[in-house]
A and B are shown apart, each in its own frame.
Chain A
Amino acid sequence: MDFSSLLLMRHEFVLLAILLLMIVAEIFVSEKNKKNLVNLGIVLFAIHTAIGLLPLTEGTLFGGMYKTTVLTHFFKSVLNIGVLILLLQSGDWLRDKVANQNKATEFFMLIFSSLLGLFYMISAGDFLMFYIGLELSTLPITALVAYESLKQKSSEAGIKLILSAALASGTSLFGITMMYATSGSLYFDLMTITADNLTILGFLMFFAGLAFKISLAPFHFWTADVYEGAPISVASYLSVISKGAAAFVLMILLFTLFRPLESIWINLMYVIALLTMFIGNLFAIRQQNLKRFLAFSSIAQAGFILLGLLSVDQLGATTVIYFVMIYVFSNLGAFGVVQAISNATGKEEIGDYDGLYRTNPLLSLVMLLALFSLAGIPPVAGFFGKFFLFMAAASKGYYLLVFLAVVNVTISLYYYLLVVRAMFLRKSDTAIPYFKSKPMMKLGLIITVVGILSIGLYAPLYDYLFEISNSIFKL
């Protein structure tokens, strides 16, 4: 075996390397300088992200267990950038709250391991690798959710997540075994999926596990509680990175491995998309806590993603990836503002944002852009993401679904405007006073704003994605 071929796993290797570096670094950092570990972690991750952007050849490893294509490479970079923004935004929280408790290194270790798991999941060429990736990405996150161990809600959220996650991955594993029983292999290339009852049952159970991770209805019940209890950076990781990666993987598997079951899962996706959008949107209307609010909003967004899956072709694949990419930036923008305000004042209710524009105009504008992008208002990126998803669904004639989806956009606009109303329309004597954000937080927010403003208007990016998304059918 040629060792240079291992370089195909460059993303994973570099990530592993910086993970180990963090552990070593902690030994040498004195008690007083613990806060510098946070900076080190962020800088190392920035380097990892930069290395990740270098071009990578396509290929397979370990007899097809691990695969990399231009598309997976691109998507990993999107995840990297997402995590980088997230780390920048949570830098203050890590320095002020976590480093004191000597838990900074562990935070990085856990989040890096989870990301590593997502990478393996994305690149998996067989179900064994896939399952390891799935577990590796979920388990560290349950620890992170319960990270503020002194808060009761945080611990409660951790328990909730681990119990439901264990159940979900167990279900998924059971489904995999059934499919193994009928097809006789775990390798995607060697499996012959036919529409017999056992395979369909296995597929459904497997799908349930992934749907849990994307928090599609009716597997979404954990979402709001966990987001509310988890530290904001972890909630934002769950809603952006982990969800985005899982949606990507779902798309790959549906478009390639489960293509023979198309007639079955198309109907399934149709129903689940509607269910998810309506449940997410209708529940979001009544939320007062911004984390719960964003939880339901992100459930609804997942429903929109499924629209792209309905057109089982290159167009659908491109729009899904495009949308997920935009969603990463938009949602991180919203979570970033929530985190900035929560760090400075500890306030997380929509009512607390009354009159925010008059005291913190820039922060309010970032929030406005992020929410408009989530709602799909032009000219920000979210509009293009949604419009193209609708085009993908309409290209196969699902006009009714598109109509209902746009009705959902209108519903979602209502609750996004509730936040806008609080920030811009209301005046309050007890408004959050002006505060200056730290440079890292600023950088984190600026990157999201640049993404939100440019991704949609800059058409060559979409064309590039369209070109490379063809490789999905080669997997």
Chain B
Amino acid sequence: MDILSLFVIVPVLTVLILVFAKDLKQARTIALIGGLVQLGMAVNLLFEYFKERALVPTSESPMLFVKDYIWFENFNIHYTIGVDGISVAMLILTSIVVLAGVFISWKIKDLPKEFFVSLIVLATGVYGFFISIDLFTMFIFYEIAVIPMYLLIGIWGSGPREYSAMKLTLMLMGASALLLVGILGIYFNSNADGGALTFNILEIAKVNIPFEAQKLFFPLTFIGFAVLGALFPFHTWSPDGHASAPTAVSMLHAGVLMKLGGYGIFRVAMYLLPLGAIDWSWFFIILAVIGVVYGALAAIRQNDLKYINAYSSVSHLGMVLVALLMLNKTAWNGAILQSLSHGFMTALFFALIGMIYERTHTRDIQKLGGLLKVLPFISAVYIIGGMASLGLPGFSGFVAEMNIFVGAFQHQDLFHRVATIATISAIVVTAVYILRVVGIMLMGPIKNEEFNDLPPSTWFERYGLYLLLIPIIGMGMAPLWLSDMILDSLTPFIARF
């Protein structure tokens, strides 16, 4: 069995075993074992990747561990998998967040077996998406990742869960309508140089798709993925969805699933349709910058912790889109680092919010206060996460944002300058909403007598938080090996522009 297919097989096996679980204890144990195995596999893959990459340079083969199985012969549909540095990083992110999600859901009450099954099906889709280099399989995994969200939010969510679940599912599926047309457009133009029609990304990248087609299909593919990446004005599913979702689902969704958007844009829309990307970049930069600023400003006005974090996600992921559209290596490196950093950070935030909500039964920051006195561990971690989020040096956020802005400033013209400055101004706003929450919720007097005897954090909660904290600090302290791996993998992309 090849090293990559295991990322699909292990979760599927976990699901199959989970079906026989009898109660919460068995279900969570199985899910935990599955999560640990996946994390082990991801770490192992990282070392294997370095070993293999030392032998085979990127210029020779952009993807490693490539395996190719014919599936539907007539359409030239293959099950093709392979990874480069970017996907390896994404796989590690996924495995960590999934495991943390299992820890955080340790005490899920209602239908535990079904909860873990849906969670892991979602993870399967995400893993499969990151290892695919065939557009068809990629699309399948994309949809597999999206659909369980409906059940996860609808069954275990809170508040207007039915509404949020439906809105999220329909918006993401509607986006896949655009995406599907885009993918078909790419497919039917993949013989532009006289070869056979193919879904294989590496093959299509060698073809010169005519400019007219690129101009037509780039926005379709871009928006199709960007809805998942919360591009303004298609982000509205995200705050509602996150607010209604149970903790682990918010973590997985904001931490991992939304990354599919940026990754897909980069790997499919921009890599395969570079001329379209150059032609359209100004338009999408405007949208993305609006998203960055709007998300940050909206976060200031929210009182619900989850909404604050959801709008902050819109802002941070908007930055990823801006960076991708800057079309240079430094900015791209920043975009991918930002995806990773945001994945860990936002998962951390949602985990903390879940813990706070579980104890105080409110997410309204105006009703909370002085939590640092009663929940010292959780509050301290919240502050660390906040510092990382506003880009304090020493944490992952700084490394990512620094790269983005340096990359963005390489453009000399007025339009890009304005866009860059607007994006940077959002950093200031980020500091405002983070510090506002810290000030109101964590500092000050304890507002509610009942909060005096809140239970301290449990071992599984702490494990979940440690898992997410380690990469945040690690990336901030020692970013070079990661950024080197990503930069190296960016070479084939930059060669297209």
Footprint of B on A, CB under 8 Å? 315, 318, 372, 377-379, 383, 387-388, 390-391, 394-395, 397, 399, 402-403, 406-407, 409-410, 413-414, 417, 420-421, 424-425, 459, 462-463, 466
Contact = CB atoms under 8 A, between A and B. Distances in A.
- By size class, the interface of chain B is 20 to 34
Nearest to B74: A466
Contacts of A414: 166, 170
A431 B136 CA distance: 40
Interface string B157-190: 0000110011001100110111011001101100
A388 B71 CA distance: 14
A80 to B, nearest CB: 26
B173 A403 contact: no
A406 B143 contact: no
28 contacts: A377-B143, A378-B139, A387-B180, A390-B184, A391-B184, A399-B181, A399-B184, A403-B177, A406-B176, A406-B180, A406-B181, A407-B174, A409-B173, A409-B177, A410-B170, A410-B173, A413-B170, A414-B166, A414-B170, A417-B150, A417-B166, A417-B169, A420-B150, A421-B162, A421-B166, A425-B151, A425-B162, A462-B74
Given A383-B140, A410-B174, A425-B162, A402 B180 contact: yes
B369 interface: no
Contacts of A378: 139-140, 143-144
B118 to A, nearest CB: 10
A462 B170 CA distance: 30
Interface of B: 71-75, 77, 136, 139-140, 143-144, 147, 150-151, 154-155, 161-162, 165-166, 169-170, 173-174, 176-178, 180-181, 184-185, 187-188
A248 B424 CA distance: 60
Tell me what chain B mostly uses at the interface: helix, strand, loop, or mixed. helix
Given A406-B181, A417-B150, A424-B154, 4 more contacts: A383-B143, A391-B75, A402-B184, A425-B151
B165 to A, nearest CB: 7
A379 B170 contact: no
Contacts of A424: 151, 154-155
A409 B74 CA distance: 25
A425 B169 CA distance: 14
Contacts of A466: 74
Q: Chain B CB within 10 Å — which of A378, A394, A409, A421 has the most?
A: A378
A417 to B, nearest CB: 6
A424 B174 CA distance: 23
Given A378-B144, A394-B188, A417-B166, A459 B72 contact: yes
A466 B73 CA distance: 10
A394 B185 contact: yes
Tell me what chain A mostly uses at the interface: helix, strand, loop, or mixed. helix
A59 to B, nearest CB: 27
A433 B151 CA distance: 22
A318 B136 CA distance: 19
A395 B188 contact: yes
Contacts of B147: 372, 377
A388 B173 CA distance: 18
B338 to A, nearest CB: 30
Q: What 4 pairs across the A-B complex have the smallest Cβ distances?
A: A406-B177, A425-B154, A394-B184, A378-B140
Contacts of B162: 421, 425
B170 A459 contact: no
A254 B127 CA distance: 44
Contacts of A420: 150-151
Contacts of A318: 74
A327 B6 CA distance: 32
A103 B84 CA distance: 67
Contacts of B187: 391, 394
B72 A462 contact: yes
A315 B173 CA distance: 26
Contacts of B155: 424-425
A39 B61 CA distance: 63
Contacts of B165: 425
A373 B154 CA distance: 20
Nearest to B166: A417
Contacts of A315: 74
Contacts of B150: 417, 420
A425 B180 contact: no
A379 B173 contact: no
B160 to A, nearest CB: 12
